[in-house]
Amino acid sequence: MSPFYYKTAIETLQELRKSGERNPELVVTLGEKLIYEGYTGKLGDEVWSVYEQVFIAALDYRNDALAKTCLERLEKRFPKSPRVKILNGMKLEAEDKLDEALELYDEILKNDDSNIATIKRRIAVFKAKGQDQRAIEALTQYLDAFYNDAETWLELSSLYLNYHLYQQAGFCLEELILLQPQNHLYHLKYAEILYTNDNINNINLALKEFCRVLELFSDLNSLASERLSKVYSLDSKNKVGNSNNELRQIIRDWLNESDKSY
Amino acid sequence: MTTQNQASLYVSEKIVQNVKTITFIRSSMSAITGSAAGILGLTGYYGFIFYGITSLFTSFLIWAAKAQAKPSLYFRNGLDVWTEGIFGGLFSYVLFWTLLYGIVHVYD
Amino acid sequence: MSHQVLSTLAESQSLYLDPAIRDWVLIPIMIVMVLVGVFRDQITVLLSGGTKKATLKAIRESKVLMRGAALRSYGNHIPPLSFLNRKNYLTNAYKKGDYLKNPASMNQTVNPMTDPQGMEMMMEGMKKNIAMIIPQTIIMGWINFFFSGFVLIKLPFPLTLRFKSMLQRGVETPDMDVTWVSSLSWYFLNLFGLRSIFTLLLGEDNAADGMREMTAMSQMTASPTGQPQDFHKLHLAESENLELTPHSWELNDIEHRLLTRYGKREQQKIIDSTENVIESNEKNAIEAASASSYSEHKGKSRRKSGKH
């Protein structure tokens, strides 16, 4: 292999780490090359995060030998680190020893009850065991303190949606909107939830939220405009209520036009 | 759109990033213009006038090239482009002015 | 002394400085100060390297304040009812002290000496101060010891006579122009001027420049080093702020705004957009459609929460 090769490999891994994208196949292929062909010395201090990354990808990809190598090297270097302990727990999870993993996480949390990664792994174990109730409990407890963790609010809302708890899911989305008011995806999801949870007030709210989505994301969001046009065309067919016909007409025209230009 | 609505459309991390960019430009520019003033041998008020002119020019370049003449897209207050980091830069300017003036004109 | 007199004095320069002064004093002082700044930055990283672990309750206690502030600033983006619910919940929780680390200690002031975390915070502050003061003192002592008693450089701008005793310390020549200054002035010039150079070298949030910490310290004298705050008081204050926050929903006139933006509507008009019940079979279809979009989102978030 040319020396150029490992440089691009390292850069690719860096980018994947930064974006948080999970691409186990690529990571395992690159990681195997780097680790087995002795390029680890060229990584400097970065080598430990690469080991961690490759380890997780190896678990995803069921490459046990590679995972073992990575974990052994990490354990040798950081024997007491909770971060490595979490990796151990993930290995247990991968081997389907969920209870043992849970015990390990509980032990870490006993010493350090604000270890975010551990809290999240613990929730993942609950989900893997199918104990959604406990997962929801753990999530709410976590979010009570770390209210500004957007991903976790999304996770909680999707759990609620599994049980058709639209009001609770809506609450989560409201929190997300408070965190990032300018993110049109949250508004869209919130509108969808309101729309699904049928009730006149909610439909009105949903319509407004769909409008908001269009305002924030001006390259017409197709889902939001589709919903709007559906509701408005439906309503005019039925001719019920005291809704604003003019507005409906304008929005419909506008949507038709934008459909053509799209 | 109400002003409040507009204010909430700013992402604070991006604003911090933009301020960093401006600080970077100003720091390097004040060091460079300070060196230039020192080499030219400006003294007294001329040196400060030179700083005023060059920093105005830098501001104009930031406004025109970096903010594409629409600073309110990048900052809560559009005037930030003209004022951000002017005084912080002055000290560096004086430092490099003195250094280069000393090296070029005092130690012959 | 007027400006003209000064400049004529400056023009009739009658002093010639030995180039050895430039090579062995002027430039070394600058290099040393840059290096010390970089070194200080590294040392601060090292000293604060031991990650302080806050307990979950402590985090909860301080984060709930931010949550209130977030509700105040972005509350207009959520519907009125949701805003009111949150407002009531938070103000009640603040008042009852639900979010306090130790709800029993509601009315006692905290003694920093007994609270282990307070001690830690004080140590943290001390470490930072030490990292700032020691190099500063050493450099100043070094300059005073080796390089005092001669003129180092000429400032290119005039200063009033008042600065003479300060800038020419150790030279004691009554008739010399004020613009000729000693090494200590060069030190101060560096101290202030290198600040933005450190920003270039080490990035925005470096610990290299001592002046910033100096200002931080002068603020600290008001509330002694890292004194733990009385969170109950802060919570009560936040609850008052929250109670006074009005709610004007961003989406009140959203339809109008949207239409205006796309040039379909000219002037302001109050729009009533009450809609009615949708037929149930349509509703089911919508439910199915949105359920599919949820599962998409769900997959995404699950993947994300898996990483750490």
Of C71, C258, C297, the CB nearest to A154: C297
> Do residue C166 and residue C285 come from a single domain?
no
**How far is Cα C136 from Cα C288, in angstroms, rounded to an integer?**
69
> Do residue C19 and residue C161 come from a single domain?
yes
Domain boundary (C208, C226, C258) is at: C208
Axis-axis angle for helices C231-243, C56-74 (nearest 10): 20
State yes or no: pLDDT of C213 exceeds 70: no
Q: Is C162 on the interface with A (CB under 8 A)?
A: no
Of C13, C30, C199, the CB nearest to B27: C199
- Predicted model pTM: 0.63
Residue C53's pLDDT is: 66
Max avg pLDDT among A243-252, B46-55, C210-219, C277-286: B46-55
Mean pLDDT over the full length of chain A: 82
Of B1, B27, B98, the CB nearest to C156: B98
Beta partners for C182? C151
Average pLDDT rounded to a whole number, residues C255-263: 73
Residue A90's pLDDT is: 92
A197-209 per-position pLDDT tens digit: 777 777 778 878 8
Residue A249's pLDDT is: 63
Residue C113's pLDDT is: 56
Are C271 and A154 in contact (CB < 8 Å)?
A: no
Residues of B in contact with A216 (CB under 8 A): 9
Residue C79 tokens, joined? 């519907």
A44-63 per-position pLDDT tens digit: 888 888 899 999 999 998 88
Domain A147-262, CATH number (from 3.40.1280.10, 3.30.70.1060, 1.20.950.20, 1.25.40.10): 1.25.40.10
Residue A238's pLDDT is: 44
Higher-confidence position of B97 and C101:
B97
Residues of C in contact with B20 (CB under 8 A): 204
> Do residue C158 and residue C24 come from a single domain?
yes
> Do residue C30 and residue C132 come from a single domain?
yes
Residue type, A158: S
Of the candidate ranges A134-138, C127-131, C206-210, the one whose mean pLDDT is the lowest: C206-210
Residues of B in contact with A148 (CB under 8 A): none
Q: How far is the CA of C139 from the CAs of C98, C144, C187, C194, in angstroms? A: 51, 8, 9, 15
User: Is residue C159 included in any domain, yes or no?
Assistant: yes
Interface test with B, best of C24, C76, C157 (most B CBs within 10 A): C157
Residue A220's pLDDT is: 56
Higher-confidence position of B9 and C56:
C56
Are B11 and A181 in contact (CB < 8 Å)?
A: no
Residue C115's pLDDT is: 60
**How far is Cα A203 from Cα A195, in angstroms, rounded to an integer?**
5
Interface residue ranges in chain B relative to chain C, Cβ cutoff 8 Å: 1-2, 4-5, 8, 20, 23-24, 26-28, 30-31, 37-38, 41-45, 47-48, 85, 88-89, 91-99, 101-103, 106-108
Q: Nearest residue of C to residue A209 by CA position?
A: C251
Residues of A in contact with B8 (CB under 8 A): 181-182
State yes or no: pLDDT of C88 exceeds 80: yes
Residue C286's pLDDT is: 42
Question: Which range marks the domain in which residue C298 is found?
Answer: 278-308
ipTM exceeds 0.90: no
Residues of C in contact with A218 (CB under 8 A): 261
Average pLDDT rounded to a whole number, residues A31-45: 82
Helices (H), chain A: 3-19, 24-36, 47-61, 64-77, 82-94, 98-111, 116-128, 132-145, 150-162, 166-179, 184-196, 200-216, 222-238, 245-261
Beta partners for C151? C182
User: Is residue C183 included in any domain, yes or no?
Assistant: yes
pLDDT more than 90, % of chain A: 29
State yes or no: pLDDT of A176 exceeds 60: yes
DSSP string, B21-36: HHHHHHHHHHHHHHHH
Higher-confidence position of A106 and A247:
A106
Under the banding of pLDDT at 50, 70 and 90, the label for residue B8 is low
Residue C209's pLDDT is: 60
Under the banding of pLDDT at 50, 70 and 90, the label for residue C308 is very low
Q: Which residues contact A1 (CB under 8 A, 6 or more apart)?
A: A33, A37
**Maximum distance among all Cα pairs of chain C, rounded to whole angstroms:** 100
Residue A13 tokens, joined? 């891994």
Which chains form contacts with chain A, at 3 or more CB pairs under 8 Å? Answer: B, C
Interface test with C, best of B11, B18, B86, B95 (most C CBs within 10 A): B95
- Checking C10-17 for CB contacts under 8 A at 24+ apart, the result is C10/B43, C10/B44, C10/C154, C10/C158, C10/C177, C10/C179, C13/B106, C13/C154, C15/C151, C15/C154, C15/C180, C16/B108, C17/B106, C17/B107, C17/C151, C17/C152, C17/C153
Cβ–Cβ under 8 Å, residues C286 and A143: no
B108 in helix, strand or coil?
coil
**How far is Cα A173 from Cα A191, in angstroms, rounded to an integer?**
9
Of the candidate ranges A65-79, A134-148, C6-20, C152-166, the one whose mean pLDDT is the lowest: C6-20
Interface residue ranges in chain B relative to chain A, Cβ cutoff 8 Å: 8-9, 11
Under the banding of pLDDT at 50, 70 and 90, the label for residue C268 is very low
> Do residue C39 and residue C155 come from a single domain?
yes
Q: How far is the CA of B56 from the CAs of B30, B32, B62, in angstroms? A: 11, 15, 10
User: Is residue C254 included in any domain, yes or no?
Assistant: no
User: Is residue C239 included in any domain, yes or no?
Assistant: no
DSSP string, C226-262: TPPP-HHHHHHHHHHHHHT-----TTTTHHHHHHHHT
Query: How close A227 gets to chain C, by Cα (Å)?
Result: 9
Residue B46's pLDDT is: 92
- Checking C229-235 for CB contacts under 8 A at 24+ apart, the result is C230/C109, C230/C110, C231/C61, C231/C62, C231/C65, C231/C100, C231/C101, C232/C97, C232/C100, C232/C106, C232/C107, C234/C65, C235/C64, C235/C65, C235/C94, C235/C95, C235/C97, C235/C99, C235/C100
Are B44 and C6 in contact (CB < 8 Å)?
A: yes
**How far is Cα A220 from Cα A211, in angstroms, rounded to an integer?**
10
Beta partners for C154? C180
Residue A135's pLDDT is: 93
Mean pLDDT over the full length of chain B: 83
Of the candidate ranges A69-73, A188-192, B58-62, C103-107, the one whose mean pLDDT is the lowest: C103-107
State yes or no: pLDDT of B61 exceeds 80: yes
Residue C195's pLDDT is: 83
Mean pLDDT over the full length of chain C: 72
C126-181 per-position pLDDT tens digit: 777 777 788 888 888 888 888 888 888 888 888 877 777 777 777 777 777 788 88
Are B8 and C74 in contact (CB < 8 Å)?
A: yes
**SS3 for A11-51, per residue?**
HHHHHHHHHCCCCHHHHHHHHHHHHHCCCHHHHHHHHHHHH
Residue C226's pLDDT is: 47
Q: Is C73 on the interface with A (CB under 8 A)?
A: no
Residue C97's pLDDT is: 82
Residue C30 tokens, joined? 């600058």
At which residue do the structure tokens 């409990």 appear?
A137
pLDDT more than 70, % of chain B: 91
Which of A209, A191, B9 is closest to C255 using CA atoms?
A: A209
pLDDT more than 90, % of chain C: 6
**SS3 for C127-158, per residue?**
HHHHHHHHHHHHHHHHHHHHCCCCEEEECCCC
User: Is residue C98 included in any domain, yes or no?
Assistant: no
Interface test with C, best of B33, B91, B96, B108 (most C CBs within 10 A): B91
A184-240 per-position pLDDT tens digit: 888 888 988 888 877 777 777 887 888 788 777 765 556 676 677 666 655 544 444
Residue A111's pLDDT is: 83
Under the banding of pLDDT at 50, 70 and 90, the label for residue B5 is very low
Which of C87, C54, C86 is closest to C231 using CA atoms?
A: C54
Q: B85's torsion region: left (phi>0), alpha (psi -120 to 50) or beta? A: left
State yes or no: pLDDT of B52 exceeds 60: yes
pLDDT more than 70, % of chain A: 81
Average pLDDT rounded to a whole number, residues A142-148: 89
Of A162, A218, A250, the CB nearest to C265: A250
Axis-axis angle for helices C183-202, C210-220 (nearest 10): 100
If one counts the domains in chain C, the total is 2
Average pLDDT rounded to a whole number, residues A235-249: 50
> Do residue C201 and residue C286 come from a single domain?
no
Burial group, residue A170, by CB count within 10 angstroms (0-12, 13-18, 19+): buried
| DSSP count for chain C of H helices, then E strands | 12, 2
Of the candidate ranges C16-20, C133-137, C298-302, the one whose mean pLDDT is the lowest: C298-302
Average pLDDT rounded to a whole number, residues B65-70: 84
User: Is residue C196 included in any domain, yes or no?
Assistant: yes
User: Is residue C26 included in any domain, yes or no?
Assistant: yes
| DSSP count for chain B of H helices, then E strands | 5, 0
At which residue do the structure tokens 């030190």 appear?
C187
Of C64, C262, C275, the CB nearest to A254: C262
Residue A251's pLDDT is: 61
Domain coordinates in residue numbering, chain A? 147-262
Query: How close B100 gets to chain A, by Cα (Å)?
Result: 40
Q: Is C71 on the interface with A (CB under 8 A)?
A: yes
User: Is residue C156 included in any domain, yes or no?
Assistant: yes
Are B31 and C7 in contact (CB < 8 Å)?
A: no
State yes or no: pLDDT of C4 exceeds 60: no
Average pLDDT rounded to a whole number, residues C43-49: 74
